[in-house]
A and B are shown apart, each in its own frame.
Chain A
Amino acid sequence: EDQVTQSPEALRLQEGESSSLNCSYTVSGLRGLFWYRQDPGKGPEFLFTLYSAGEEKEKERLKATLTKKESFLHITAPKPEDSATYLCAVQAAKAAGNKLTFGGGTRVLVKP
């Protein structure tokens, strides 16, 4: 069974204080690992897809990396507008209906 575990559950940062979020996963053949951002009262918004170990992707202050067992989302010099819940999900190579399996998320609060 595919499993995704995110840590920490919550993270409080000062503006400009860089940090990393962890996503550990087990999956029978990885088709893709996804990062989403979710603002309160809204649906998840797609950030990145990573396909194989060693791959990295960047978007503004966010950088996602992937190994065979985990992914990290690095937030560099965060701003208050980076406050959100960040969700990690995996898609298995043989996932029925191409469904995603999600972790519990990390709530990030960036204080000015």
Chain B
Amino acid sequence: NAGVTQTPKFQVLKTGQSMTLQCAQDMNHNSMYWYRQDPGMGLRLIYYSASEGTTDKGEVPNGYNVSRLNKREFSLRLESAAPSQTSVYFCASSYPGQGRSGANVLTFGAGSRLTVL
């Protein structure tokens, strides 16, 4: 059981280049998320998809786009990369109502480290 798989693990881009981070989960989860993690800033939500066919902005969506390709896959695209987008990106997924009060645990991938020069 692979859980949440992210590709690539590492990527170096030049300013202005574009790229797509891929994420797939095999747990039949409805909701998927993209977070970025920067030193001293914690994990910040970029975009999320509450269910297949829907996407919404999180705290820091500027410069990113997402696609919920199907229930398993949720991709993050940088159209014109900037040095400020140098970060570690994490994809996560969850199934609503797993816990008491409807709280649901997010399962994270291993991360994608992106450097923009």
Q: How many chain B residues touch A (Cβ–Cβ < 8 Å)?
A: 32
In the assembled complex, the CB of B68 is this many whole angstroms from the nearest CB of chain A, namely 12
Q: How far is the CA of A72 from the CA of B106 in the complex (A)?
A: 20
Does B42 contact A87, Cβ atoms closer than 8 Å?
Answer: yes
Residues of A within 8 A of B (CB): 4, 9, 31-32, 34, 36, 41-46, 49, 51, 87, 89, 91, 93, 96-105
Does B103 contact A51, Cβ atoms closer than 8 Å?
Answer: yes
Does B108 contact A43, Cβ atoms closer than 8 Å?
Answer: yes
Q: Encode contact with A along B31-73: 1 for CB under 8 Å, 0 otherwise.
A: 1010100001111110011100000101000000000000000
User: A residues within 8 A CB of B58?
Assistant: 99
Q: A31-B101, A49-B99 are in contact. Are A104 and B56 (CB under 8 A)?
A: no
Q: A41-B111, A51-B99 are in contact. Are A98 and B45 (CB under 8 A)?
A: no
Q: Could you show 19 A-B contacts with beta carbons less than 8 Å apart?
A: A32-B99, A34-B106, A41-B111, A42-B111, A43-B90, A46-B106, A49-B105, A51-B100, A87-B42, A87-B43, A96-B48, A98-B94, A98-B104, A99-B33, A99-B58, A101-B45, A102-B43, A103-B42, A104-B42
Q: A41-B111, A43-B90 are in contact. Are A98 and B105 (CB under 8 A)?
A: no
Does A42 contact B110, Cβ atoms closer than 8 Å?
Answer: yes
Which residue of A45, A46, A104 is within 8 Å of B41 (Cβ)?
A: A104
Q: Encode contact with A along B86-108: 1 for CB under 8 Å, 0 otherwise.
A: 00001010101001111111111
